[in-house]
Every structure is written in structure tokens, then in C-alpha cells.
């Protein structure tokens, strides 16, 4: 198992996973961005997450996240979060073409994770996994979104 896999699987929170994402993207494609925030919100079933162009936020679909929390290990949950944050971080860097982002995600994940790892399945858009992710999804009334505290704090130079 590579060091990155161990870091991802053992990460204690969103910020730790996002630090890994940023480090890898900077190593692989040489660009970086700071000042993003993470919002957890209910979104339609077909959307895992999104980054609105020009904004400083990544929105993670709480409905899908909740599906992953139940009945999965920390390693599986963290791998899911890693792939989703990687995808949206690439969009936030100005890579807007969805096919190109998916290709980059598959390439980057494939470099660090064994071909049988759940992260590779998620990055490959496995249709069976997609159906599994939508099955039993809570489609009730949308709840209030919330901002994850302590996310992308690497460049903060003040005490808040």
C-alpha cells in the first residue's frame, strides 16, 4: 500500500483529505488554489458534488455522503471523499471540461491506488456502483446546508 493510500484511509477529517488532494494536484499538474470552503447540502440524486465557476466553494451532496457513511469502513468513506474532492478541486482550478476532469481523476487515482481499491471504482464511474449509490437515497425535504469548519486553512494568516 502506498503512503498516499494510507494517508487517505487514515485521515480524520475533510481538511486532512483535502490537504492530500491539494498536494497531489500540485505535484502532478503544478497548480494550486487556496481559500476554498466545503458546503454539505442536499442536492438531486444525480449530483455527487459541484463547484460553481467563480465561487470559492465545493458543495458535497449530503444525501450521497450519508449513503457512504452507513455500512462502510472509514477507508471506504475517505476514499469516496478523496475522489469527489479531487474532481471538484480540479474544476475549481479552472479545468471545466468534464471529460478532461474525469480523465485526470482516473489517471491520478490510478497512480496511487491499486486497481482493486474502491477509489479506482469510484473514479472509473462504475455503473454498478452508481446504481448502488442511488439505491435507498433519502429524497425527503431538503435540509439546511452547512459549511464545514476547518477546511482549507493552510493559508490563513490570522487568528479566527
Quick: pLDDT tens for 50-86.
999 999 999 999 988 888 888 789 999 999 999 999 9
Half-sphere exposure of 30 (CA within 13 A, CB side): 0
pTM score: 0.89
- Domain positions in the chain: 3-147
Q: Give φ, ψ of 120 to 5 degrees.
A: -70, -40
Q: Is the pLDDT of residue 33 over 60?
A: yes
| Mean pLDDT lowest among 93-97, 114-118, 133-137 | 133-137
| Mean of all residue pLDDT scores within the chain | 88
pLDDT at 134 exceeding the cut of 60: no
Secondary structure (H, E, C), 51-112: ECCCCCEEEEEHHHHHHHHCCCCHHHHHHHHHHHHHHHHHHHCCCCCHHHHHHHHHHHHHHH
Amino acid at each position: 500500500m502506498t503512503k498516499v493510500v494510507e494517508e487517505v484511509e487514515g485521515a480524520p477529517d475533510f481538511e486532512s483529505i483535502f490537504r492530500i488532494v491539494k498536494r497531489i494536484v500540485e505535484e502532478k499538474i503544478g497548480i494550486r488554489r487556496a481559500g476554498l470552503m466545503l458546503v454539505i447540502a442536499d442536492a438531486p440524486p444525480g449530483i455527487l458534488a459541484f463547484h460553481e465557476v467563480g465561487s470559492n466553494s465545493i458543495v458535497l451532496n449530503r444525501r450521497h455522503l450519508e449513503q457512504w457513511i452507513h455500512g462502510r469502513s472509514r477507508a471506504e468513506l475517505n476514499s469516496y471523499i478523496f475522489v469527489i474532492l479531487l474532481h471538484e478541486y480540479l474544476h475549481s482550478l479552472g479545468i471545466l471540461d468534464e471529460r478532461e476532469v474525469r480523465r485526470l481523476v482516473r489517471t491520478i487515482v490510478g497512480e496511487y491506488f491499486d486497481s482493486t481499491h474502491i477509489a479506482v471504482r469510484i473514479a472509473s464511474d462504475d455503473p454498478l456502483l452508481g446504481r448502488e449509490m442511488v439505491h435507498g437515497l433519502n429524497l425527503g425535504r431538503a435540509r439546511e446546508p452547512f459549511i464545514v469548519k476547518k477546511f482549507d486553512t493552510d493559508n490563513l494568516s490570522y487568528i479566527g
